[in-house]
Amino acid sequence: MENLQQLENDLLQQISAAADIKSLEDVRVSALGKKGLITEKMKSLGTLPLEEKISAGKILNVLKTNVEKAIENKKMGLEKQELDKKLATERVDVTLPVRPETQGRLHPVSKIYEEVAAIFGQMGFDVAEGPDIEDQFHNFNALNMPANHPARQMQDTFYIANPDSPDFDDSFVVRTHTSGIQIRTMESKKPPIRIIAPGRTYRSDFDATHTPMFHQVEGLVIDKTTSMAHLKGCLYDFVKAFFEVDNIKVRYRPSYFPFTEPSAEMDIGCHKGKDELKIGEGDDWLEILGCGMVHPKVLLAGGIDPDEYQGFAFGMGIDRLAMLKYGIPDLRTFFESDLRWLKHYGFVPLDTSSMTGGLSNNGGLAR
């Protein structure tokens, strides 16, 4: 077998001349591929007389190893070169400070949404949604508020005519509360259920603490043995996490909601000073949410057997929570789209709320 030295020299020369991975691969295939020069030579060994086969075989093996090694080394060199090139062009200076003036602010309502979802999310709640324009079944009837029920007068409802029916009972409403999502959730999910449902709500009302559009978050838990004790534990943990105070007094006052029995309102302890409100300490009380055990009729309306399942529900005003937590005095300003207001009360958008990373990230306050 002649010219093996020549072949090796040629190949090594081609390898060293390869300018990139692709041309190196071409050389490899031409030498070691199925029909490569070295492969062909290996195949032709079989035709040689024994003596020659042994000596040529040895030489060929050495040649093959040399070529393989050369390819491997060259490849490493080329890869490093390519990486260096990439690093040079894609260089990011990680020591650069974050731009001091992040544009845009997160509205306090969005911030509270995030905080509430972070707290209940950690307790295993899902977030459920429902439509803003609701039918009377989901907004009222299924929640144990049939037509002419006095409780309907508790809410100043905006009705929307139904184009397909002149009958008032068929007219739609812009939802007066998020409680209808309880029913929608029961219709679409089997217990155990554990959801919160944040959303916009609408009532005909307008003063410093009421706007025609506002925000609520609803909560619903249904399982076989869910009790009032669970409700109390769950809401206590919530207010403690939300207001970021370790010690907080709470009390429950009996109340009335058509969709819960018994019903209660939860107050938290606070100190109401002349110009300040301190949550958690003091002898004053602040009403914070409505709650209760889901009325059996509501379970039935949602297609759930009240003899097998029971649960609790709660509802609270998001805007009110924002006013309390961040000291915003007038609700109407929430919806005036005044950029100066947003700059003052808004939040830096990249500071997300989480139970581990901190809820309100006071360092991230735009103020």
Give the contact letters, 288-307, x = binds to ligand DAH (CB under 6 A), - = no. Answer: --xxx---------------
| Choices 119-127, 183-191, 313-321, 352-360 (CB under 6 A): range interacting with ligand DAH | 313-321
Residue among 257, 309, 345, 347 that touches ligand DAH (CB under 6 A): 257
Distance CA 198, CA 127 (A): 8
Q: What is the DSSP letter of 124?
A: T
Which residue's C-beta sits nearest to ligand DAH?
315
Residue holding tokens 């609790």? 312
By CB under 6 A, the residues from 94 to 133 that bind ligand DAH are: none
Closest CA to 4 of 50, 51, 49, 44: 44
Is residue 36 near ligand DAH by the rule CB under 6 A?
no
Strand partners, 178: none
Q: What is the pairing mode between strands 193-202 and 126-127?
A: parallel
Output the smallest distance, CB 241 to ligand DAH, in A: 20
Core vs surface per residue 92-103: b (16+ CB within 10 A) or e: eeeeeeeeeeee
Q: What angle do CA 198, 202, 204 make, to 5 degrees?
A: 155
Distance CA 201, CA 355 (A): 27
Output the smallest distance, CB 319 to ligand DAH, in A: 13
**Do the beta carbons of residue 293 and residue 262 sit within 8 Å?**
yes
CB neighbourhood size of 321 (10 A): 24
Output the smallest distance, CB 326 to ligand DAH, in A: 22
| Choices 115-123, 128-136, 238-246, 284-292 (CB under 6 A): range interacting with ligand DAH | 284-292
Is residue 186 near ligand DAH by the rule CB under 6 A?
no
Is residue 179 near ligand DAH by the rule CB under 6 A?
yes
Distance CA 360, CA 324 (A): 13
> Which residue, 191 or 315, has its beta carbon nearer to ligand DAH?
315
DSSP, collapsed to helix, strand or coil, labels residue 246 as: coil
Residue among 177, 184, 320, 325 that touches ligand DAH (CB under 6 A): 177
Output the smallest distance, CB 158 to ligand DAH, in A: 14
| Choices 39-47, 221-229, 311-319, 343-351 (CB under 6 A): range interacting with ligand DAH | 311-319
CB neighbourhood size of 275 (10 A): 6
Strand partners, 200: 215
Number of residues that bind ligand DAH (CB under 6 A): 11
| Choices 40-48, 73-81, 205-213, 310-318 (CB under 6 A): range interacting with ligand DAH | 310-318
**301 membership: H or E segment, kind and range:** helix 296-301
Output the smallest distance, CB 300 to ligand DAH, in A: 17
Is residue 313 near ligand DAH by the rule CB under 6 A?
yes
Residue among 198, 302, 315, 346 that touches ligand DAH (CB under 6 A): 315
Output the smallest distance, CB 177 to ligand DAH, in A: 3
| Choices 48-56, 127-135, 240-248, 309-317 (CB under 6 A): range interacting with ligand DAH | 309-317
Core vs surface per residue 291-312: b (16+ CB within 10 A) or e: bbbbbbbbbebbebeeeebbbb
> Which residue, 290 or 302, has its beta carbon nearer to ligand DAH?
290
Amino acid at 185: T
Which residues bind to ligand DAH, rule: CB under 6 A?
177, 179, 218, 257, 260, 290-292, 313-315
